[in-house]
Amino acid sequence: MAELISGKTLAAKLKAEAAAEAAELREKGVHARLAVVIVGENPASRTYVAGKAKDCAECGLLSDVIALPEETTEAALLEKIAALNADKTVHGVLVQLPLPGHIREKRVIDAISPDKDVDGFTPVNVGRMVIGEECFLPCTPAGCIEMLKSTGVPIAGKDAVVIGRSNIVGKPAALLLTANNATVTLCHSKTRDLKAKCAAADIIVAAIGKAGFVTADMVKEGAVVIDVGINRNAEGKLCGDVDFAPVAEKAAYITPVPGGVGLMTRAMLMKNTVKAARLQSGL
């Protein structure tokens, strides 16, 4: 039976570290501050943004939630971002995705100052991550790596399969695993023999967005399984991309949903915001 990798415990530890560092900065006159911009009424996005503000309060960070109406133009949003980039009291700038259809996400992300890009989504930060330079790592994949490391099972030399190649999860997860010396197979909807590839993997990172997609027959005995997915099952209950109970019978370690990667994503955002404050204040 797999051991649970608790996002709750690990995220609490990371948040405590962020809080301690934020307190140190405050003593030196710097109050770390995150600005979160949200456009429109998407209820899930509203919940995520509220969670980020709550995390900031818990860690002793200031936060501003800038809620703009659905009909906000791209130009107005870009203007807002430019103002936040220029505001020296704001250290982290984040735009909650998805944006309404009339706004080009890429234009908006590109407009965020790389120094304040605490989501790690701008091309500059992505490029730095690819070449292994100091940067803001994207929160979800960085959280996955923390969870893997917490098991004590070395990542180096392991065969890892990442399912999903989105820019925010799958691709950076594959890059970070490679940086940690795993041998990585990045799978997607056009991958052949996905089941066999997964069944040979020591580490599986599932980021597909389909409830129960990873079944027990796809998992090697003793594998480490990281479930990024956030879905609703037929009964409306929150669940991941992994068929949890049967896979937990075979895996050595597994992350739960809820209580797994999602909490780590939030904690990594706190770490990145404090780091941004430290770097911008030259401390």
Are the CB atoms for 49 and 95 separated by under 8 Å? no
Q: Is 150 annotated as a binding residue?
A: no
Binding residue per annotation — 166? yes
Phi, psi of 56 (to 5 degrees): -60, -45
Q: Are 81 and 93 in contact (CB under 8 A)?
A: yes
Using CB under 6 A, pick the residue from 113, 150, 231, 281 that binds ligand NDP: 231
The footprint of ligand NDP on residues 158-177 (CB under 6 A) is: 163-166, 168-170
According to the binding rule CB under 6 A, does residue 186 interact with ligand NDP? no
Binding piece for ligand NDP, criterion CB under 6 A, among 57-65, 84-92, 108-116, 185-193: 185-193
**192 contributes a contact to ligand NDP by CB under 6 A:** no
Which of 190, 192, 221, 245 forms a contact with ligand NDP (CB under 6 A)?
190
CA distance 16 to 150: 16
Q: How far apart are CA 81 and CA 157, in angstroms?
A: 42
Active site residue 119: yes
Instruction: Compute the radius of gyration of the chain from its Cα atoms.
Output: 19
95-154 residues near ligand NDP, rule: CB under 6 A? 140
280 is catalytic: no
Choosing from 126, 135, 239, 261, the residue that interacts with ligand NDP (CB under 6 A) is: 261
Single out the residue of 141, 119, 143, 123 nearest to residue 131, CA to CA: 123
Q: What are the b/e assignments for 143-167, b being 16+ CB within 10 Å?
A: bbbbbbebeeeebeebbbbbbbbee
Q: Which of 37, 53, 25 is nearest to 94 (CA)?
A: 37
**Residue from 156, 189, 192, 235 in contact with ligand NDP (CB under 6 A):** 189
Task: From the candidates 15, 55, 96, 171, give the one annotated as an active-site residue.
Answer: 96
| SS3 call for 94 | strand
**Between residues 163 and 182, which has the closer beta carbon with respect to ligand NDP?**
163
164 is in an annotated binding site: yes
Asked whether position 94 contacts ligand NDP by CB under 6 A, the answer is: no
Per CB under 6 A, the segment of 19-27, 101-109, 126-134, 226-234 that binds ligand NDP is 226-234
Would the annotation count 63 as a binding residue?
no
Per-residue HEC secondary structure of 153-200 comes to: CCCCCCEEEEECCCCCCHHHHHHHHHHCCCEEEEECCCCCCHHHHHHC
Closest CB 225 distance from ligand NDP, rounded Å:
14
The DSSP bridge partners found for residue 205 are: 162, 226
Nearer to ligand NDP, 98 or 222 (CB): 98
- By CB under 6 A, the count of residues binding ligand NDP is 25
Query: How many residues would you count in the chain?
Result: 283
Token pair in block for residue 189: 């909807």
Q: How far apart are CA 249 and CA 145, in angstroms?
A: 22
Active-site annotation holder among 15, 55, 117, 119: 119
CB of 114 to ligand NDP, least distance (A): 21
Site residues for ligand NDP, window 46-75 (CB under 6 A)? none
Is 52 designated active site? yes
User: What are the binding residues?
Assistant: 164-166, 230
Q: What amino acid positions are annotated as catalytic residues? A: 52, 96, 119
Q: Which parts of this chain interact with ligand NDP (CB under 6 A)?
A: 140, 163-166, 168-170, 187-191, 194, 207-210, 228-231, 261-262, 265
